[in-house]
């Protein structure tokens, strides 16, 4: 039943459509407000529930915080004790630190002293190094001079050997001449024997002849002449034999003297070479200790190649080296423009010098001697 609106007359029960529409709208608004109020109430209830839950959590946290506070008080008491102990330890550490600083100052003083000593030692080593380099240069110069002197002595010894060989050849020629003379004398002796046979035959024939006396005298004269000729030939033979024996003695004596002198010179040269080898080895070790790579002079390298060539020739019995080629991997170094040499790689210095090596090709062949 429709309600009457305020201001309307009670006698007017007619409701217009506009009023009805307005009432419906108001009713709808009220319903919406009611729903909004219900939603707000639900939200408030949810917030109250959440607040209650948070309150419970807050109570629990408060209880836990009280427990933590009690524990923190205990920890604070323990921390105060630890702080007192730490202060005590800190005092001891400061004491140790003072001692450490004192030791550090002493170490610094010792380090300064050691540094001064090291600098002095470095200066001394530098001076020793310069002295060693000067000695090495002097030894190399002496080695070159010794090699030149040895080459001259070897040349002189070769000349003496050539003279001895010439004397031997002369002796052999003289022996051949003596043999020839002996052969001639033997031929003459055979002729004398033939003449003796003929003489005997003639004497037999003369015995049968009438003029035996005259022919016999002639035969005696002929026999006397042949005998004198035979005696002369025998004397010449004895003279030639004596001369040959004397020549053999003289040549043997000269050969023995030359061999003795050559043996003494050889021992002297071998001793000098051994000493020079030891000196060179010592210098090489000293240079390697200084971090330097030793090098050889061209004369030393050529001497090594010559010995290699001779050893190969001696060991290949029945063969002759005619044409050969040697490829060497070597380096070149020096301490000045005048003092340089060839670096021969070894197992000890290969890693250091391999980047600076160059290939050198040497053609080798046997040199024919005069008269061959």
State the Cα–Cα distance between residues 168 and 300, nearest whole angstrom. 35
Kindly state the average pLDDT of the residues 309-325: 72
Band (14; pLDDT cuts 50, 70, 90):
low
Band (77; pLDDT cuts 50, 70, 90):
confident
Q: Decide if pLDDT at 274 tops 60.
A: yes
Q: Take residue 341 and report the two structure tokens written for it.
A: 């040499």
Task: Return the higher-pLDDT residue of 281 and 84.
Answer: 84
Task: Return the higher-pLDDT residue of 273 and 68.
Answer: 68
Backbone angles phi, psi at 340, to 5 degrees: -140, 175
Q: How far apart are the first and last CA of the chain?
A: 165
Kindly state the average pLDDT of the residues 328-341: 71
Identify the residue whose tokens are 């330890």. Answer: 89
Most confident by average pLDDT, 33-37, 232-236, 309-313, 324-328 = 33-37
Contact present, 359 and 372 (Cβ < 8 Å): no
DSSP 100-121: HHHHHHHHHHHHHHHHHHHHHH
Number of H helices, E strands in the chain: 4, 3
State the Cα–Cα distance between residues 72 and 65, nearest whole angstrom. 10
Q: Which of 137-141, 235-239, 244-248 has the lowest mean pLDDT?
A: 137-141
Task: Return the higher-pLDDT residue of 202 and 116.
Answer: 116
Of 256, 335, 259, 255, the C-alpha closest to 290 is 335
Question: Could you give the 3-state DSSP secondary structure of residue 83?
Answer: helix
Q: Decide if pLDDT at 210 tops 80.
A: no
Which pTM does this prediction carry? 0.30
Band (367; pLDDT cuts 50, 70, 90):
low
């Amino acid at each position: 039943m429709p309600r009457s609106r305020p201001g309307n007359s009670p006698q007017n029960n007619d409701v217009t459509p506009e009023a009805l529409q307005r009432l419906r709208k108001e009713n709808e608004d009220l319903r919406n407000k009611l729903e909004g109020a219900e939603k707000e109430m639900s939200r408030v209830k949810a917030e109250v529930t959440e607040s209650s839950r948070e309150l419970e959590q807050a109570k629990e946290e408060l209880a836990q915080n009280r427990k933590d506070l009690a524990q923190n008080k205990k920890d604070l008491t323990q921390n105060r004790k630890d702080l007192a102990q730490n202060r005590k330890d800190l005092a001891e550490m400061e004491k140790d630190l003072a001692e450490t600083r004192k030791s550090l100052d002493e170490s610094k003083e010792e380090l300064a002293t050691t540094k001064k000593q090291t600098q002095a030692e470095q200066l001394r080593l530098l001076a020793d190094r310069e002295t060693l380099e000067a000695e090495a240069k002097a030894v190399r110069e002496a080695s070159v001079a010794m090699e030149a002197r040895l080459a001259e002595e070897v040349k002189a010894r070769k000349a003496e050997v050539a003279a001895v060989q010439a004397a031997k050849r002369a002796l052999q020629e003289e022996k051949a001449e003596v043999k020839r003379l002996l052969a001639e004398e033997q031929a003459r002796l055979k002729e004398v024997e033939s003449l003796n046979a003929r003489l005997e035959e003639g004497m037999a024939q003369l015995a049968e002849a009438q003029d035996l006396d005259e022919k016999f005298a002639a035969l005696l004269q002929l026999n006397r002449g042949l005998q004198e000729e035979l005696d002369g030939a025998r004397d010449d033979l004895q003279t030639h034999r004596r001369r040959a024996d004397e020549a053999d003695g003289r040549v043997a004596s000269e050969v023995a003297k030359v061999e003795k002198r050559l043996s003494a010179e050889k021992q002297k040269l071998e001793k000098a070479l051994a000493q020079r080898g030891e000196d060179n080895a010592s210098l090489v070790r000293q240079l390697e200790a200084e971090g330097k790579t030793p090098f050889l002079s061209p004369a030393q390298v050529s001497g090594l190649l010559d010995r290699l060539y001779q050893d190969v020739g001696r060991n290949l019995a029945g063969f002759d080296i005619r044409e050969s080629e040697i490829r060497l991997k070597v380096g070149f170094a020096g301490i000045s423009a005048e003092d340089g040499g060839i670096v021969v790689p070894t197992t000890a210095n290969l890693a250091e010098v391999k980047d600076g090596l160059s290939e050198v090709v040497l053609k080798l062949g046997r040199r024919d001697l005069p008269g061959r």
